[in-house]
Structure 1
Amino acid sequence: MQVAEILRPDGVKVQACSPSKRRLFQDLAEMAQSCWALDPAKVNEALLEREALGPTGVGHGVALPHARLSGLDRVRGLFMRLERPLDFDAVDRQPVDLVFCLLAPASAGVDHLKALALVSRTLRDPAICSKLRANSDPATLHTILTESGPRNLAA
């Protein structure tokens, strides 16, 4: 699996700010609607339910919100760079400015975990995160994510 398989160019956005995690999830749900034709209410609800189990802020300004949804045929991704970092209850208590959202089929099983591991490994690379933070063009961000990260995650 490669990042390019789950993240389309129109699934990347730069946003000035988001006043709360709840609003950010609404924005991601709206992106899912325009990019993947998903029901934004269902996406938002699934993200909020997953977040209630524990924060998905993984540290170093990165959050990986994710959820399972019925009706999806495969894992889908969305990426948002926030110009103003948001308090996300991250493990290191640092605000988040890089958000990679994963949406997986309800029955995804190992594919969901593979995608999560791939994205996590990609965003653990300080050089990639620096490039993402230094750019505001969504096309450039997509290229950084799809060409700079781990090329493959073995089955």
Structure 2
Amino acid sequence: MNLTEILKPGAIKVIASASSKKRLLHDIGDLAESVYGYDSGAVIEALMERESLGPTGVGHGVALPHARLAAVKDMSAAFILLEKPVNFDSVDRQPVDIVMALFAPEEAGVEHLKALALVSRTLRNADLCKKLRANHDPATLYALLTSDQNTQAA
């Protein structure tokens, strides 16, 4: 699995700022609806439910919100770069500016875990994150995220 299989070029957005974690989750829902046709309300609800189990802010300014949804047939993702970081209740208490949301079919098991591992590995690369933060063009962000050296599965 690699990011080109789950992330569409149109599912990348740069947002000047989000007033809160909840507002950011709404932005993710809106992006998922416009790109993948998912119901925005269902996406937001599922993401908020997942966040209630424990925050998905993994540290170093990165968050990986994810949810399983009935409408999802194949793994998909959305990427948001925030120009102004937002508090995401991350494990290191640092605000988040890089967000990769994953959407999985309700019955997804191993596939969902593989996608989470792939995204986690990709965004653990400090050099990549530095490049992402330095670029605000969605096409460039997509190219950085999907370049072969960053997205090879283990």
Query: Residue 27 of structure 2 aligns with which residue?
Result: 27
Q: CA deviation at 1:152?
A: 2.5
Which residue of structure 1 lines up, in the alignment, with residue 125 of structure 2? Answer: 125
Write the deviation string for residues 90-121 of structure 1: whole angstroms up to 9, x where unpaired. Answer: 00000000000000000011000000000000
Letter of the 2:136 partner, please give it. S
What is the rounded CA distance, in whole Å, between the counterparts of 1:129 and 1:81 in structure 2? 10
Establish whether residue 4 from structure 1 lines up as the match of residue 36 from structure 2.
no
Q: CA RMSD in A?
A: 0.9
1:150 is displaced (CA, Å) by: 3.4
Amino acid at match of 2:14: V
- Residues of 1 paired with 2:52 and 2:149: CA distance? 29
Contact 2:46 2:69 in 1 (8 A): yes
Residue in 1 aligned with 2:138? 138
**Partners of 2:122 and 2:151 within 8 A in 1:** no
Q: What is the rounded CA distance, in whole Å, between the counterparts of 2:150 and 2:136 in structure 1?
A: 22
TM-score, normalised via structure 2 length: 0.97
Q: Which residue of 2 aligns with 1:46?
A: 46
How many pairs were matched up? 154
Contact 2:12/2:79 (<8 A) preserved: yes
Aligned residue in 1 for 2:56: 56
Listed as ranges, the matches of 1:85-104 within 5 Å are 85-104=85-104
Divergent runs of 4+, >3 A = 148-151
Q: Which residue of 1 aligns with 2:65?
A: 65
Offset, 1:72: 1.1
**CA separation in 1, counterparts of 2:7 and 2:127?**
20
Structure 1 contact 68–103 (Cα < 8 Å) conserved: yes
CA–CA separation in structure 2 for the residues paired with 1:91 and 1:138: 27
TM-score, structure 1 normalization: 0.97
Structure with bigger strand share is 2
Unaligned runs of at least 5 residues, structure 2: none
Q: Sequence identity, in percent?
A: 56
Higher mean displacement: 70-79 or 140-149: 140-149
